[in-house]
Structure 1
Amino acid sequence: MIDKRMEEAINKQINEELYSAYLYLSMSAWFDSIGLKGFANWMMVQYKEETDHAMKFYNYLQSQGAEVKLFAIKEPPHSWDSPLHAFEETLKHEQHITKCINELVDLAEELKDRATYNMLQWFINEQVEEEENDREIIDKLKLIEGSRHGIYMIDRELAQRKYTPEI
């Protein structure tokens, strides 16, 4: 049986993951509205992955006989100053999620909850990848310094990203 503090913390994390999905869906819509279909695709894949992350936590709580509580999802921003700004905000958000995951790990260690600790290792590795991907795109966007040709090339590259279900 899972400790009530861990149950509550994971329920909060489900909300964090669903907000992440909502944020990336909003970014996808914004990129689509400015004609960057590849960027929109990249964010749509991100939206789907974040939904998968929420469901991993949801399924874990259910497997532990814990209560799943869904909370209201706050409204995300609707526009950004530039593609670079959107990805800088994406990285900042992923760093926040990394902090949340690390806090869950700390709680699992404190409670000596080895099952949850083990489950969280997947998320630790995922966050390393998430931040690395964001930094790579930010570096490319900075390299091209707003060049329309450069944006076009990155847009084509990001259009190639495919969704692979994680659960």
Structure 2
Amino acid sequence: METNRLSPTLAQALNDQMTNEAHNAQIYLAYASWAADKGYDGISNFLFRHANEERNHMMKFLEYILKRGGKVVVTAIPAPGPDPVSVNDCFEKVFKSEVENTAKIYDIVNMSMAEKDWATWNFMQWFVKEQTEEETLAMDLLSKIKVAGGENAKDTALYNLDRDMATKPDDATLAQDATVDNP
């Protein structure tokens, strides 16, 4: 008896996204290693935590494909690309990666809607919210780096940023959660 409840196109898209999440984990891992090598232990810690979060996202896709009766296809992960040249560059690259990931998530949402696969559409809503958080967090960090001087940030500002990043929460306050009393 056939138990697969994913169309071939959605199964492919979900497998591709699983690989993309693994790739994003590698990007965060590479940037965390770069930051540690430069002595930015707080930034490194933050990025290592996000590498782990991306691996968890990969596993969510893997488990979903299996639970829907689909076939998981594990493929090679692309290299993360060149190391950042600065803290500013690092977080610009993080933001760019998150925006690209959001576009891929939206493609799957649109595909699931077009195919009327409401289970997949519902599954993907968690990722829609997660990507909103990830983009907001990256934008907030870029704003802090801009205030610190951006590409021209002084060592003292980077030291303070690094110290703050060691304890920075891994999520961001979203616009939909804002109220008059809690903007």
Scaled to the shorter chain, the TM-score interval is over 0.9
- Deviations, residues 114-157 of structure 1 (Å, cap 9, x unaligned): 00000000000000000000011111111111121111111111
Which runs of no fewer than 5 residues in structure 1 stay unpaired? none
Counterpart AA for 1:98? T
CA distance in 1, matches of 2:170, 2:92: 22
Mean Cα deviation higher: 14-23 or 142-151: 142-151
| 1:153 equivalent in alignment to 2:160 | yes
1:120 aligns with 2:124: yes
Paired residues, number: 164
The one-letter code matched in structure 1 to 2:144 is: K
Q: Read off the aligned partner of 1:148 and give its amino acid letter.
A: D
2-structure distance, mates of 1:70, 1:162 = 31
1:67 aligns with 2:98: no
* Superposition deviation, residue 163 in structure 1: 7.2
**What letter is aligned with 2:57?**
H
Partner of 1:54: 58
Counterpart amino acid of residue 101 in structure 1: I
Is the Cα contact below 8 Å between 1:27 and 1:40 reproduced in 2?
yes
Instruction: Give the alignment partner of residue 103 of structure 1, picking from 90, 94, 107.
Output: 107
Give how far 1:77 is off: 2.4
Deviation at 1:78, TM superposition (A): 4.2
Map 1:1-167 → 2, pairs under 5 A? 1-145=5-149, 146-161=153-168
Q: Structure 1 length normalisation: TM-score?
A: 0.95
Equivalent residue of 1:10, what SS?
Answer: helix
Stretches of structure 2 that go unaligned for 5 or more consecutive residues are 172-183
Segment of structure 1 superposing worse, 73-82 or 34-43: 73-82
Q: CA deviation at 1:84?
A: 0.5
Q: Return the offset for 1:80.
A: 1.2
CA RMSD of aligned residues (A): 1.3
> Relative contact order, CA 8 A, sep 6+: which one is greater?
1
Which has the higher Rg, Structure 1 or Structure 2? 2
Label 1:163 to 1:86 Cα distance change in 2 as closer, same or farther (>3 A). closer
Q: Quick one: distance in 2 between partners of 1:63 and 1:105?
A: 18
